[in-house]
Amino acid sequence: MSKRPCRTSAIAMAALLSFANAAGAADGPSLERWRSYAGVSWDAPDNGKNPAPFAASVDAPIAGIHFDAQGVAYVSTPRLVSAAAPATLSILDTRAESGPARLTAFPSHPGNAVEGAPERSLRNVLGFHVDRRNGWLWALDMGFVAGEAEAPAGSQKVLVLDLKTGRTVKRIPLDSVADRKASFLNDIVVDERRRIAYISDSGSRSAPNNKVGLIVVDYASATVRRVLDRHPSLQIEPGVKVVAHGADVWPGKPLLIGINGIALSPDARTLYWTVTTGTRIHALPTAILRKTGSTDEQIAATIQDLGAVDGNTDGIVTDAQGDLYITDVTRNGIVKYDHKTRSMSLIASNEGVRWPDTPAIQPGGDLIFTSSRLNDHFAGSVPLGEERYELWRLPLSGRQKKGN
């Protein structure tokens, strides 16, 4: 990091930004703590009572969330802290507002078994996509689980699952485009009409020299390719620290995550992404990614820098109008990028939000995002029994959503 005169501490700067932006967001929509769960459970309720929390619930934080056309919620509990969770992909019963989150393994418990065939069983899912157009769920499996230095052969993959039956519609291996030791397959978004998926590889397991990249998956041909390998727009920004609730994340061992959040415009013609250990949003036209034989140089020439978010980010999502919503982990809220005016603003913030992660649009139009203190869980600083996995809601003024 370069030296600067009159350097302000990260904590003081974060506090200042939080105050200034909270004031700026005061007149906008307000955040609502929609659901608050004391851990997770895969047990069935007993006589209407809350099921007992999973014994290692503190090691199974809820990270990803997406909804199908009927409003059914699917969530991921990545096996990054521990491999003990019975499932890494589940259906969440949102009718329960408290107690442990009531989960049902999807597609099944055997389908989530760590000991199962690595090319067929879901081992470690963080990002996934619920495809309302085709009735599928695209599960992105990182392959490795906590305690493994290398993903087993065949474990890095995309499993396309039928939402109604849970059967595997297609299995697409990723070993040819992902590094079994260095890759961190973070998030996935799908052009549902063309059936093409885009995957962010944060390269976090190879930090500080992250082997970042973007992976393009074609369902019809089951072909995959890696582009923009280690490109600066996907890479951690030099000198940037990740700050949450006014404090550096993991002092002495800073969090180094490259490209993370990834989203498509409603017509799937534009791909957006953010870098967690960074500050900016980038975009490019997907036509260049679909063009056979396009080179990294040609792809890179189409990248647009859309500006600074002003905080560290995690997940992103677009609405039917094409506006982008970004979770801001530094200022505990949601940033909106207006694609027409090309303006960026913090529209909602709440001190009760701790590490806003995945945002998703419900069929009725509200934005829901997960908040589970993921940074603290991964640091092992959440005491057993004090885990809290929350869903926050942001009304979007009845802006109805459509699939792409």
pLDDT of residue 122: 98
pLDDT tens digits for range 100-140? 999 999 999 999 999 999 999 999 999 999 999 999 999 99
Q: How confident is the model at residue 142 (pLDDT cuts 50, 70, 90)?
A: very high
Does the pLDDT of residue 13 top 70, yes or no?
no
Query: Which candidate, 265, 208, 211, 267, places its Cα nearest to that of 234?
Result: 211
Q: How confident is the model at residue 14 (pLDDT cuts 50, 70, 90)?
A: very low
CB-based contact 205:227 (threshold 8 Å): no
Q: What is the DSSP letter of 112?
A: G
pLDDT of residue 376: 92
Does the pLDDT of residue 25 top 60, yes or no?
no
Question: 219 burial class (0-12, 13-18, 19+ CB within 10 angstroms)?
Answer: buried
Does the pLDDT of residue 8 top 90, yes or no?
no
For the sheet with 185-191, list strands across it: 185-191, 196-201, 213-218, 223-227
Q: What is the mean pLDDT of residues 369-393?
A: 93
Q: What is the mean pLDDT of residues 213-218?
A: 98
pLDDT of residue 27: 61
Q: What is the mean pLDDT of residues 41-55?
A: 89
Q: What is the mean pLDDT of residues 346-350?
A: 96
Percentage of residues in the chain having pLDDT higher than 70:
91
Does the pLDDT of residue 270 top 50, yes or no?
yes
User: Which residues lie below 8 Å from residue 118, measured CB to CB, with a gap of 6+?
Assistant: 143, 151, 152, 153, 154, 155
Q: What is the mean pLDDT of residues 42-64?
A: 91
User: Does 383 sit behind a cis peptide bond, omega within 30 degrees of 0 on the bond before it?
Assistant: no
Which fold does the domain 10-48+61-394 belong to in CATH?
A: Neuraminidase (2.120.10)
Q: CA torsion, points 227, 228, 234, 237, in degrees to nearest 10?
A: 150
What are the Cα distances from residue 15, in Å, to 19, 103, 345, 349? 6, 36, 17, 13
Look up residue 145 and give its two tokens.
Answer: 């689980």
pLDDT tens digits for range 69-104? 999 999 999 999 999 999 999 999 999 988 999 999
CB-based contact 139:89 (threshold 8 Å): yes
SS3 297: helix
Q: How confident is the model at residue 398 (pLDDT cuts 50, 70, 90)?
A: low
Query: Which candidate, 173, 171, 151, places its Cα nearest to that of 161?
Result: 171
Q: What is the mean pLDDT of residues 159-183?
A: 98
pLDDT of residue 12: 40
Of 173 and 6, the one with more pLDDT: 173
State pTM to two decimals. 0.91
Query: Which candidate, 25, 127, 64, places its Cα nearest to that of 336?
Result: 25
pLDDT of residue 28: 66
pLDDT of residue 252: 87
CA 369, CA 371: separation in Å to the nearest integer? 7
The domains of the chain are located at 10-48+61-394
Query: Which candidate, 55, 54, 52, 60, places its Cα nearest to that of 76?
Result: 60
Q: What is the residue-wise DSSP string for 178-231?
A: S-TTT--EEEEEEETTTTEEEEEE--GGGTTS---EEEEEETTTTEEEEESTT-
pLDDT of residue 9: 39
Does the pLDDT of residue 272 top 80, yes or no?
yes
Mean pLDDT for the chain? 91
